[in-house]
């Protein structure tokens, strides 16, 4: 792994930006971002192969792979390690934990993708990527970005919760309240006119107040 500092600053990607395109080698062959057009993509980086926290995460991602697939979402891992390191690590996970990693892992030896996506921790003494997650929608728009420190593992259950909420709120008519889980009541978007307020308070199924109205609880 290259331990030199990046030669230029990482861009500041924001929510609703177009996800930067890329072409990279992976454990499943050459991959382009455009290969995932029409589906959700969870792009996540890890600091290094053969590390305990990353191994625990990969096992958890794989065990939940069918849940991501049910939401029309593919998984794609990334680190600055080589493709050969990725392959050896995946084989080791199979040997030691009896788990087959089915999703591809891309190599980013030159850190081009890491810098495009702002994955480099600017306070770090190395070029190891932080634990970054990018939720990219079927139109290649970034909908959520989450960064974790190297010492804290991600919760796959929470990642699935966020993805479920993104899918459920995609049309913009409802929002997910704190702690929302799939199937729970959602919140209607607040009214923007006096007439809308009157209509909401008269006709809403569960009006707590004019700005706070729950749905029936389907989450759809």
- Check if 73 is active-site: no
Q: Per the residue annotation, which of 24, 31, 42, 54 is the catalytic one?
A: 54
Helix axes 52-63, 83-97, angle to 10 degrees: 70
Distant-in-sequence contacts of 161-166, Cβ < 8 A, 24+ apart = 162/135, 163/40, 163/42, 163/68, 163/71, 163/73, 163/135, 164/71, 164/219, 166/40, 166/135, 166/137
In whole angstroms, how far apart are CA 78 and each of 59, 109, 116, 132?
15, 10, 13, 10
**C-alpha angle with apex 55: 9 to 18, nearest 5 degrees?**
35
Catalytic residues: 54
């Amino acid at each position: 792994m290259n331990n030199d500092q990046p030669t230029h600053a990482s861009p500041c990607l924001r929510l609703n930006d177009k996800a930067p395109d890329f072409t990279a080698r992976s454990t499943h062959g050459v991959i382009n971002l455009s290969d995932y057009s029409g589906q959700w993509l969870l792009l996540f980086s890890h600091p290094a192969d053969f590390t305990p926290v990353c191994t625990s995460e990969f096992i958890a991602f794989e065990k939940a792979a069918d849940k991501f697939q049910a939401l029309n979402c593919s998984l794609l891992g990334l680190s600055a390690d080589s493709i050969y390191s990725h392959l050896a690590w995946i084989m080791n996970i199979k040997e030691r934990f009896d788990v087959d990693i089915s999703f591809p892992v891309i190599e980013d030896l030159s850190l081009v993708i890491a810098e495009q996506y702002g994955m480099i921790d600017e306070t770090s003494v190395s070029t190891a990527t932080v634990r970054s997650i990018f939720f990219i929608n079927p139109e290649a728009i970034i909908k959520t970005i989450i960064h974790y420190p190297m010492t804290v593992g991600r919760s796959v259950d929470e990642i699935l919760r966020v993805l479920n909420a993104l899918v459920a709120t995609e049309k913009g008519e409802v929002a997910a309240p704190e702690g929302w889980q799939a199937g729970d009541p959602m919140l209607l978007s607040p009214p923007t006119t006096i007439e809308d307020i009157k209509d909401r308070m008269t006709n809403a199924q569960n009006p707590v107040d004019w700005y706070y109205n729950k749905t029936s609880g389907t989450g759809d």
